[in-house]
Chain A
Amino acid sequence: MDLQKFFEMGGYAGYVWTSYGLTALILIWNWWAARRSEAEAQTAAKRRNELALERSS
């Protein structure tokens, strides 16, 4: 495979690579945001449990 030809995308390089780059960005953002949303809720739930334990003891 000719790498240079591949990257040129028949003259559409700017359009094709911007589209794929943007897609990668959105997928990575979703991955990060979903993980963070779950992790934050877990940390908050843990804290509530600890506080409840402290109060009961």
Chain B
Amino acid sequence: MSWTWFHKLASPPHAYRILGTIAPWFGWASLALILLATWWGLVKAPPDYQQGDGFRILYVHAPSAWMSMFTYVVMAVAAGVGLIWRIKLAHAAAAACAPIGASFTFLALATGSIWGKPMWGTWWVWDARLTSELLLLFLYLGYMALRASFDDPQRADRASAVLALVGVINVPIIHYSVNWWSTLHQPASVTKFDKPSIDMAMLIPLFIMIAGFQLYFGWAVSRRLRGEILRRERNANWLKEAA
């Protein structure tokens, strides 16, 4: 198998152009899906038989929690690729993921806390799910702080990649925490091998919102990665045409 397509894709000028082309598509598609899911989740979906209209927080809480873990895995894989094959673009992609992931993790924690108050009677509890998600936020912040502490971008890349890879252990811990330990947080109701325990009428807007968030991530990471590429390719000739 020929790897030329891969080398072409990993070349900064090519990636810069492609990202600039696909970003608007991601952006508009995500806007459409997020607006559709918001209307569906707030208006069309029936109220829950136990939680009434309070369950509608699900449509922003679950997608942001999903994105907090998804983004971390993308970041860790990119960091690993950068570390093993010494691809600068991969390190740049990992760096572009961090602030987006941190913001989704914060959102998952905040909306979870707001949901917990009326349903559990408390804003916060140190159970395994909540604690491991909080650790995820600290991993993102630590990753960004570590990067910022180096003047040499190559050393920043390598050191932060190691942190990203070590921290990825936390992702399955977050996911399975509700099964491994007794937690106040409810067990998984969608990502199960048997049938999900949510009705389809409630599940469809959730899937639309998750798809919208994924596309939104695609847009944000494309924009940030283009910025990273320009900052790193300081003296390259192609920049004269791109900028």
Contact = CB atoms under 8 A, between A and B. Distances in A.
- Interface residues on chain A, size class: 20 to 34
B56 A23 contact: no
Contacts, number: 102
Contacts of B61: 19
Given A11-B52, A15-B114, A49-B243, A23 B227 contact: no
A26 B53 contact: no
B99 A33 contact: yes
Main secondary structure of the interface of A (DSSP, over half): helix
A44 B107 contact: no
Q: Interface residue tally of chain B, by bracket?
A: 35 or more
A34 B220 contact: yes
A12 B43 CA distance: 14
Contacts of A45: 230, 239, 242-243
B19 to A, nearest CB: 9
Contact of B54 (A9, A27, A30): A9
A15 B118 contact: yes
A42 B114 contact: no
A29 B226 contact: no
A16 B242 CA distance: 45
Given A33-B99, A46-B243, A49-B239, A23 B107 contact: yes
Interface of A: 1, 6, 9-12, 15-16, 18-20, 22-23, 26-27, 29-31, 33-35, 37-42, 44-46, 48-49
27 contacts: A10-B47, A10-B52, A10-B53, A10-B54, A11-B53, A12-B52, A15-B54, A15-B117, A16-B57, A18-B114, A19-B114, A19-B115, A20-B38, A22-B60, A22-B107, A22-B114, A26-B103, A26-B104, A26-B107, A27-B34, A27-B216, A30-B103, A30-B220, A38-B230, A45-B239, A49-B240, A49-B243
